[in-house]
Every structure is written in C-alpha cells, then in structure tokens.
C-alpha cells in the first residue's frame, strides 16, 4: 500500500483529500503546516506528498525545498489558489512534480497522484546502462543522471532531467509537443501544454550557452540539435 502525506492548514481540504485517497487504497497521514510536514518526513517515508503553498508557520515552497534536501526522490504535488506562471515555475524549480490550482476536483487530483506514483515507481524499476553523450563542453551522463557544462555540474529537477534526456536521446528529430508530453509525463498526464513550455524555459536557463541546442519548431514542438 502506498503512503501519502497531505499538508494543508485547512481541515476541510485535508479531509476531502483523505476521503478520496483512502478510497483509492492509499494510506494517509496529515500535517497542518510546512514545519510539521518537515518533522514528519524526517521520521517517516512517503511515496508522495500533497503540499499546499499558503500555510502559517512555514509555506509550502519552503517546506518543499527543505524536504527535497533529505528526501530528494519523494514526489511532491503542490496545491495553490494562485495559478500564475511564476508560481508554477518556482514550484518546478524546487523539484515539485505537479502543480494543482485551487479549487480543484478531488477526482482529478487522485488521477494526478496515481500518474505521478506510477511514473516514479516505473522509473525506479528500469535498468539503466552506462551511457554518456558529449558535445563540446556539454556532457550528459544518462546512467548517473548528471549534466555538466564546461566541467560544472548543472542542477536540474527530476522532470527537467527526464525531459532533457529524452530530447538528447532523440537528437536531430522533430519532437511534437504531444509526443514529449506523452513520453516524459505519460499518457495519463492531466496537465496542459504550458507545463512543457515552463520546463523548456527552465532547461534553457540551466544550459547557458548550450540553450541554443534546444530549437523551437513553431506549430510542431522542439528539437535538440548540435550546431
């Protein structure tokens, strides 16, 4: 049985999520703010965390940042009443796996939870062979999940790594937006295409001078190419 942690200062929200999550077969723990969430995560392991952004004591973004320091592989879905692109980018930069805007459909939230857990545990079971791609000062170690630019390691979120690795593996091919979303996020992804655009922006920011290797194909998608 998978175990999830629901972090929200509103009792009603926690109870709604608990009801639907337990119906789906999940074991559920709760925390009322970011500080309590960190304390609980230091003592226990969770397969997924649902984290509200606006909370007293410690906000969700700060709690996400701290939890990722000692539980980097635990997926986190952020909840927020704010749907601005800046907030979503900030959440993804901190390592969150999805971002859901309030008010939300509990059924849709559970579908997102199922999708994230499925992706996480499927990737853990895959065998990875030693494989390294290099282009000038850019090095991509697929097996170690390490990207370096001119000898300096580039820090990326888990989903940035997945997206970038898929594009590099398909170097020179025109990748449609639909194919990128289905291959990287999965066929059961319930977000929108702006999630892809946000991650492309973050990737380009991380790659510095090699950002030009990610080419936008208007009306189609993107292509990774070495010039």
Supply the pTM of this predicted model: 0.61
Residue appearing with tokens 């074991």: 27
Kindly list the structural domains of the chain, giving each domain's residue range(s) and its CATH number in brackets, ordered by start: 3-125 (3.40.50.2300), 132-224 (1.10.10.10)
Cα-Cα-Cα-Cα dihedral sign, residues 33, 39, 44, 48: positive
- CB neighbours of residue 198 within 10 Å: 19
Reduced to 3 states (helix: H, G, I; strand: E, B; else coil), residue 171 is coil
For every one of its 227 residues, what pLDDT tens digit does the chain have, with 9 covering 90 and above? 899 999 999 999 999 999 999 999 999 999 999 999 999 999 999 999 999 999 988 999 999 999 999 998 899 999 988 767 777 888 888 888 898 988 889 999 999 999 998 888 765 555 445 689 999 999 999 888 899 999 999 999 888 999 999 999 999 999 999 999 988 888 666 666 688 999 999 999 999 999 999 999 999 999 999 97
CA distance 98 to 117: 11
Task: At 138, give phi and psi (nearest 5°).
Answer: -100, 130
């Amino acid at each position: 049985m998978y175990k999830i942690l629901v972090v929200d200062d509103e009792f009603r929200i926690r109870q709604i999520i608990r009801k639907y999550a337990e119906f789906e077969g999940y074991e559920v723990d709760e925390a009322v703010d970011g500080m309590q969430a960190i304390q609980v995560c230091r003592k226990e392991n969770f397969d997924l965390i649902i984290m509200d952004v606006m909370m007293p004591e410690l906000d969700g973004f700060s709690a996400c940042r701290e939890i990722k320091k000692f539980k980097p592989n635990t997926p986190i879905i952020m909840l927020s009443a704010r749907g601005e692109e800046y907030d979503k980018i900030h959440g993804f930069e901190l390592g969150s796996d999805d971002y859901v805007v309030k008010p939300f459909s509990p059924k849709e939230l559970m579908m997102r939870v199922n999708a994230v857990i499925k992706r996480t545990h499927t990737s853990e079971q895959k065998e990875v062979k030693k494989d390294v791609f290099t282009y000038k000062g850019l090095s991509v170690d697929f097996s170690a999940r390490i990207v370096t630019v001119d000898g300096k390691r580039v820090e990326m979120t888990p989903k940035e790594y997945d997206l970038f690795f898929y594009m590099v593996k398909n170097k020179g091919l025109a990748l449609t937006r639909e194919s990128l979303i289905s291959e990287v996020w999965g066929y059961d992804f319930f977000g929108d295409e702006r999630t892809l655009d946000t991650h492309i922006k973050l990737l380009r920011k991380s790659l510095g001078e090699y950002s030009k290797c990610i080419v936008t194909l208007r009306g189609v998608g993107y292509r990774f190419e070495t010039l």
